[in-house]
Each structure stands twice: as C-alpha cells, then as structure tokens.
Amino acid sequence: MRATVSCTQAAISPAFEAAERQGAVSGALSAAWWLLALLALGASTLCAVVLVVARTPFLGLGAEFFRSALVLHVDLAVVVWFLAVAAGLWLTAMPAGGGVLSRMARAGVWLAGLGVLAMVLSPLDGQGVPVLANYVPVLDTPSFYIGLGTFLSGVGFTGVACLLALAGEAMGSARRPPSDGGRWVMAAAIVAFLSALVIFVLAARGGAGEVSLDTRLWGGGHLLQIVHTLMLMAAWLHLGRPALGRVSFPRRWVFWLIAMELLAVVADLLIALAFPVDSLAYRRGFTLVMRWLTWPAPLALAVWLVFGYARLARRDGLRSQDFCLLGSIALFVLGCLVGAAIRGETTTVPAHYHGTVGAVTLAYMTWAQSRLSGIARGYWTSRLWRWQPLVYGLGIGLMVVGLTWAGTLGVPRKSPHAETVMADGVHHVAMGLAGTGGLLATVGAAVFVAAILLALGRKRIT
C-alpha cells in the first residue's frame, strides 16, 4: 500500500513541490502575488460586512452603499483574489530562470498591483454608477475600467510568461516525462484565462447598437469560472495526494480531466466567434456549455477523493486539512445542486455561486495553510489556525442554505433586505440564516488574512 501511495504522489505532485526548489526571482514574485491576493481578500471582507448587515433583518442599513460595496466585494473576492492566487501558483510551476520571461512576470505583478489600487480608489471620485453585471460587476467610471483592465493585463503577462516557460521546458527536455499532471492543470488554467481575455475583447467590439455592459461581460465571465474550476482541481490534486494514493488514482486521468475542461473553453471560443454578443444563440450557447461541460471533471475528481478519504479514515484517520478539503468538495457539490434548481432571478442565484466560489476559496485557504502554518502559528492559537478554514466553510454553507431557502420564497437577488417588501416570518428566518452564515464566513476570512499578514510582518516566506 505504501508503494501505491508513493507512486501516485509522484505522478501528481511535482508541480506543487516545485515551489520549494524555485529560484529567488520566481519565489519573490509568487509571494508578491499572494500578498496582493490577501490584501484583496481583506478589503473584500470589509465590503462583505456592509452587505451582510444590509441583508440581515432588523440590522439593515438601507441601500445607500449596498450596490457599490457589492461591486467591490465581488471583484475583490472573486476576480482579484482568485486570479492573484492563481498567478502566484502558476509561478511555482514555472521553471526557474531569468531573462525576458522573468521580466515579463515581474511587470505583471506591478501592473496588477496598480490596477487593484485604481479599482479600490475609483469610488472616491463620486461619479461611478454601480453596474451589477454578472461575474464581473463594475463601477461605470474611467478609473475603475482602467484599473480592472490593468489588473487583467498583469495577470495575462504572468500567465503568458509561465505558459511559454512551460512549453519551452516540455520541448527542450527529453528527460521530463510528458505526464507531469500538476503543471498542465495550471497550464490549462492559463489557456482558459487568455481565452477569457479574447472573449472580453470580442464582446467589447461586437454587437450592433447599444449593448449593455452585463451582456458584454457575460461570456468572458463564463470563461473565468473555468479558470477557477481548473485551479480548484489543482488544489484538490495537491491537498488530496494521500487520499488519491489509497485508490491508486491513474495519472493519465489528470489529462482526461484537463481535456474535458478545455473542451468547454474551445466551445465557448467558437460560440463567441460564431454569434453576435447580443444574440439569443450567444447566451444559450454559453449557458449550455456551463450546464453540461464545466462540472463533470471536478465532480469525477471529487468522487475519487471521497473514496480515497474513506479508505484513509479507516486506516490512518483524517487531519484537519483533510476535513477542510472534504468541506471544499461538499460546498462545490452543494453549489452545483443549487444551480440546477435555479428558477428566475432570486437569491438562489447567489446561493449557487457562493457555494462554488466558497469551495475554491476554502481550497486556497487550506493550500496556503499547508505551507504557512509554521509562520502564522505564533499569532493565533494552534487550534484556531488549524480549524479556521472550516469556520469559513461552515459560514458559507449556512449562507448558501439561507439564500436558497429565501430564493424559494421569491426574494430577489442584488437587493438589500431593506428593499425587500415581505412580511412573512419565514422570510426573516431564511435571510437571518444567510446573514448569520455570512458573518461567520467573514470572521473566518478575517482570521485568515490577519494571521498571515501579521506573520509576514515578522518573517519572510521562503
């Protein structure tokens, strides 16, 4: 059995362990991306406080700042946090070295940091009208657009540098086997991200007459979800190595799973090229791809992990990290089930994406803790640090249940509680449950960010 575990870990772990062997340039850039991600998550947590209070019965403060806070919360918590973590992890898979590609990756970090700063400061001009577009909401002001574009360009610079470095290594080294699965999950995520940028550009230039921002951002936002799905699979592969070893997970399966996700990327690109951005066929096409092609690969991996952890639990028992990964799987499955039950524009929609988004965030938190636990332990009790991801996961789970319940009662999405005219006591219970879960998740995220930032003030990540 030990031999089986060793063989399986050897098949999927090289990309994730490469960070320990990286040169100073890649390591420093990766740490810079993680720092940017943590700052974004911390800022989004502050925005989440406004949202939770506004949606919680008897605490609602009205809608004065709700929509602007919602724009910044979503962009910082989903777009910036997710993509900054992804870029930092891409660099861990990038072969060590200098030259043009390293300078390109360094420029990417600077561009991204300046872009996030512009986004955060954009509400200060007082002219930005919140546009609650799906996937990528915006403030309709030039400073916000410049900031968002600059950030995405920075991620793109880093992604291209990593992709070219990986491609050069694959072609130039006959000794490296072509089945280094972990690296190519990340490479596939880079391809998906660059494809999303292409679709954003096509949507910006396409369409006849007045096309809403929501419509123009909708297709590219779909591609970003595939990026996050691939990175979620990368996190599960890394964190779940002991469990996958118990079920002899075949390394060739990694490439089949990647192929399934890339099929969705290709399908979305073809739809964007074939149909006008404001056409019914465009929207239906992206919806069908999301409904049928994006979830089977992570779900198949989740099944292998659950069986592996069942065997691991009987043999060796489970650690807190293992429970956190299982929590991530549970949130993803819950989010998919809620998504299948969506009927109309109710709070069931945010319940769906909070489940899937929460699954990715929980996996990233657990991944970070697996590398940084020795650094942050001095600032919080060992037990609090160890179980913090589960506190966050429990909060997200309660919020998903509460929002889904409220959605079945007809509560509209994208509006605070104060704007919802419903006297039904059940509605108050449902939204109160969502608010309680949101507060718990906010506490979990705040503990995570504070512990690491305090630790970074004393120690340098190596």
Instruction: Indicate whether 199 belongs to any domain.
Output: no
d(CA 323, CA 425): 35
CA angle 284, 285, 287 (to 5 degrees): 65
pLDDT of residue 195: 97
Contact between 164 and 119 under an 8 Å Cβ cutoff? The reply is no
pLDDT tens digits, one per residue of 31-61 = 899 889 999 998 988 887 777 666 555 555 5
Average pLDDT over residues 69-93: 91
| pTM (two decimals) | 0.88
Burial class of residue 271 in the structure, from the number of CB atoms within 10 Å of its CB (0-12 exposed, 13-18 middle, 19+ buried): buried
pLDDT of residue 394: 95
Contact between 358 and 324 under an 8 Å Cβ cutoff? The reply is no
Instruction: Indicate whether 345 belongs to any domain.
Output: yes
pLDDT of residue 118: 95
Contact between 130 and 220 under an 8 Å Cβ cutoff? The reply is no
Q: In 3D, which of 373, 352, 362 has the Cα closest to residue 236? A: 362
How many CB atoms are located within 10 Å of the residue 151 CB? Answer: 27
Q: Residue 126, by phi and psi: left (phi above 0), alpha (psi -120 to 50) or beta? A: left
d(CA 283, CA 24): 45
- Tokens representing residue 240 in the block: 């779940």
Contact between 130 and 59 under an 8 Å Cβ cutoff? The reply is no
**Across 148-152, 344-348, 415-419, 426-430, which has the greatest mean pLDDT?**
148-152
pLDDT tens digits, one per residue of 229-274 = 999 999 999 899 999 989 988 888 899 999 999 999 999 999 999 9
Contacts of 303 (CB under 8 A, 6+ apart): none
pLDDT of residue 11: 41
d(CA 277, CA 218): 9
Instruction: Indicate whether 391 belongs to any domain.
Output: yes
Instruction: Indicate whether 248 belongs to any domain.
Output: no
Instruction: Indicate whether 36 belongs to any domain.
Output: no
Q: Give the DSSP H/E element, type plus range, for residue 193.
A: helix 181-205
* pLDDT above 60 for 315: yes
d(CA 399, CA 223): 25
Contact between 142 and 122 under an 8 Å Cβ cutoff? The reply is no
d(CA 188, CA 208): 33
For the chain, the residue count is: 462
- The per-residue DSSP string of 215-265 comes to HHHHHHHHHHHHHHHHHHHHHHHHHTHHHHHHTT--THHHHHHHHHHHHHH
Instruction: Indicate whether 378 belongs to any domain.
Output: yes
The rounded mean pLDDT for the chain is 83
| Greater pLDDT, 313 or 420 | 313
| Greater pLDDT, 265 or 127 | 265
Given 3-state DSSP classes, what are the helix, strand and coil percentages for the chain, each rounded to the nearest 5? 80, 0, 20
| Greater pLDDT, 213 or 377 | 213
SS3 174: coil
Band (pLDDT 50/70/90 cuts) for residue 308 is: very high
Total number of domains constituting the chain? 1
d(CA 346, CA 342): 8
d(CA 31, CA 49): 27
| Greater pLDDT, 7 or 180 | 180
* pLDDT above 90 for 143: yes
Q: Give the DSSP H/E element, type plus range, for residue 326.
A: helix 320-340
For residue 130, the cross-strand partners are 139
Contact between 229 and 297 under an 8 Å Cβ cutoff? The reply is yes
pLDDT of residue 102: 85
Contacts of 72 (CB under 8 A, 6+ apart): 43, 44, 47, 119, 120, 123, 139
pLDDT of residue 428: 78
Band (pLDDT 50/70/90 cuts) for residue 446 is: confident
Band (pLDDT 50/70/90 cuts) for residue 313 is: very high
Contact between 362 and 402 under an 8 Å Cβ cutoff? The reply is no
pLDDT of residue 250: 84
| Greater pLDDT, 263 or 1 | 263
Contact between 181 and 237 under an 8 Å Cβ cutoff? The reply is yes
Domain limits for position 384: 330-462
Instruction: Indicate whether 373 belongs to any domain.
Output: yes
Instruction: Indicate whether 405 belongs to any domain.
Output: yes
pLDDT of residue 9: 43
d(CA 42, CA 77): 9
Contacts of 311 (CB under 8 A, 6+ apart): 243, 246, 247
pLDDT of residue 179: 45
* pLDDT above 50 for 418: no
